[in-house]
Structure 1
Amino acid sequence: MKKTDGAFYTGEYRNVFKEYGYSEVEISARVQDTWEQLFFGDEEMRIYHEVGDDLGYMLDTGNIDVRTEGMSYGMMMAVQMNNKDVFDRLWKWTYTYMFMTEGENAGYFAWSCSPEGKKNSYGPAPDGEEYFALALFFASHRWGDETEAPFNYSQQAKDLLHTCIHKGEDGVGHPMWNPENKLIKFIPNCEYSDPSYHLPHFYELFSLWAYEEDQQFWKEAAQASREYLKIACHPETGLSPEYAHYDGTPNDERGFGHFYSDSYRTAANIGLDYEWFRGDVWETEEANKIQAFFSDKEPSDYRRYKIDGEPFEETALHPVGLLATNAMASLATVDGPNARASVDLFWNTPLRTGVRRYYDNCLYLFAMLALSGNFRIWMPKL
C-alpha cells in the first residue's frame, strides 16, 4: 500500500460495484433512485422536507426531530449529488434554527430541534459540526462562495472549525477536540470519545483548508484518530463501542460501552479513509475482521454486542444501516475474503421502510455513493 494510491492523490475513485460485475447503467440508476426516494419520494419513504421557498430539513423519523447529524449528512449528500438547491435549503434551516449565538455553546449548533425549528437542547454534537465543515468546503469548491452569510461557505467552515478547537480559551465553554491528545469528544463538556466520530480523512482536508493557524492541529488530529481507532476497535472482532475512554477502553456510561447503533459508522469511516488517503494498512485488517464477524449472521438476527462479540438478547435497532456500513468497509479490502459477500448483501437489500428508516437509510445512501465511486473529494478550483 502506498498513500499516493489514494483518491486524493490520483483523482480516481474505485467503483466497487462495477469491479464486482454490476453494470454501470444499473449502478447509476440505483444511486439516483436511492437519492430520489429519500429526498423526493412518497411520505412513507422520504426523510427530506421542504419549508417555504428556501428552507428544508431532514427528519429523524424515529424520534420526530431534526438533528445536526441528519442535516450535515443531508448537506454532504446534496453536494455529492450536485444539488445546490437542497444543500442551500438545509444549510439555511440549520443556520436559522440550530446555530447558537449566546451561552457557553455559542458558535456551535444545537444538536436537536423540532421540525418547526424550536431547539430541544442547547448542547451540540461534534459529529454534526465536522460534517457541516467538510460539506461547506465542498460546496465552496464545487459551486463557489457567495458574499453574504450563510452562503459564504468556506468562511463558515473555517469559522466553525476554529470554534471547535479554540472554544473555551477565554474561559467560556469547551472545545470539541481535546487540545492535548487531539481526539474528538462525544460532547464538548466531557472527556471521552465516540470512535464513530473519528474521521481522519476529513481532518486531512481541514489541515489544507482551515485557517492557517489551525492547519497543524488538524494534521495531528488525523494521525491521532487513526492511532486511536487501533486501540478502540477489538483486536479480534473489529467491533468498537459507542463510547470509549481516551485509552480506547469501552466507556459503559448509560450502557454505551457496547457495539450498537453509533458504532456501525466506524467501519464506513475506515473504508472511506482508505479510499481517499490509504490512511493505514491496519484499516484493511480491521475491515476484514468486522466483515468476518458478521459473515455467518443474518441481518434479522443482528444484535447489540459486547466488543468481544458476546451477543445480548436485544436485537439491532438499525440492521440495514449495519449491513450498509459493513459493505462500505470493502473500500479498504476489495479483495478481502468477505468483501464481495458484504457488498452483494447490501446491493440486494432495499431501503428500509417504517418509522426507524432515517438512520439506516442515511448510512445506506452514503454506502451507495462510496461503493459506486461517487463519494468524492471536491477540491478548490484552480
Structure 2
Amino acid sequence: MLFPTPALDSEDQRVLEEIEQMRRELRHQVSAPAKWTAGLRKFLTADAVAASNSIEGFRVSTVDVADLMEGERDVEVSEEDREETLACQRMMHYIQSLHDVEDFSYSKGLLNGLHWMLQGHRHAARKPAGQWRRGPVYVTDARDPGIAAYTAPDEAEVPTLMSELVGWLNAEDGTHPLVRAAMAHLHLVSIHPWSDGNGRMSRSLQTLMIAREGVLAPEFSSIEAWLGRPGNTWEYYRELGARGATYLPDQEVHSWIRFNLTAYHQQAQTVRARLHRSGRVWTILADFVERETFDERVISALHEVAMAGRVRRLRYEHAEALTTQQAQRDLRDLVAAGVLESVGRTRSRYYPAGRRFPEPALEVARTPISLTSPYRK
C-alpha cells in the first residue's frame, strides 16, 4: 500500500499556479541565447550535487563540486568526498539526459541501476548496491544513534511495495506532475528499499520526474539545493519524521505536499534571481572589457570570478573552447593588469578577483536575494 495523494485546497492551487508562472517565464528566458546561461546550468547542477551530499554529511562546496565536474584533479577535498561527489554527479547527469527519451519507462532495473551509479563504489556483501536490501534498515535519531527514529518495512515486503511503486510511476492519474514527483519522493524514502543511499535516491527520483515533465530544462528543475540549506534540511527531516516511526501509508500527508510546494516556489525564486543577477554582471563586465580593450572572450572568466569567487584555467579553457596556451595567456594578462590574482601553483592554481576587478560587478553578484513564503499568513 502507498500513501494516498491528498487533494489540493485553494491556497495550494494558488501557490502551484505561481510556481507554474515562474517556470514558464524561466523557460522563455533560458531559451534565449545568452553566454551566461551555460554557466548557470553548470552552477545549478553543481549546487544540487553539493546540497545532496551535504544532507548526507559530505561537505564539498559548490565551487569545488563545479571544479570536480570539470575534470580538475587538484581540488582540496578528501578522497571519500571526491568519490561521493563524482558518483552523485554522474547519476545527476544521467537523470538529466533522460528528460526527453521517448520510450522511457520506470522499472526495477532503472531504479537499481541508478542506485548502483550512486552507491556502487560502496558495494559490499552487507550493504549491496543496485539491489534490494537483505535485512532491516533504520534511520537513527540525530541526537542519539541508539534510537531508531524510523524503522523501514520488513525486507520481505520490499519487492511487493516496489512493484506497486513502479506501477504507480508508470500510470497517469491526472495529478499535477510536481505533486506526483513529491509523492514519489515520499513513497521511495518511506519504503527504504536499499541498505544505504535511500535519501539521495528519493530526491533524485523527484528530480527525474520533474525533468520528465518537460516544462523546464533539467538543470533548473531540482529542489536539491533548496533542501540542502541548513534550516530547510532540518524542516525536511522534521516533515519526514511527522510520518511516524514505522511505515504507515494510510495517513494524511497534506503537510508534505505543502512543504514541497514551498520548496518548488522558493527554488524558482532563487533561480530567477540568479539568472537576472548573472545577466546584470555580464553586462557590467562586457562594458569593462570593452573599455580596457581585452579580448571579449575573457568576459566568461571574469563572470565566473564574480559569481563563484574564482576561476580555474580548465574551466575557462572549456567555456571558450581554447587551447591550454591561449587560456594561460589570457589569465596571465589579466593577472598582470591587476584584474585577477593568481593563487597556488601549477594545476592547483586558481584566480580570484584582483585589485582592479570592477567593483560594481562584485556588488551585484554579492547582493543577497530575498525569498518570500508562498503561503500567506
TM-score normalized with structure 1 length: 0.30
Larger Rg: 2
The structure with the greater share of residues assigned to helix is 2
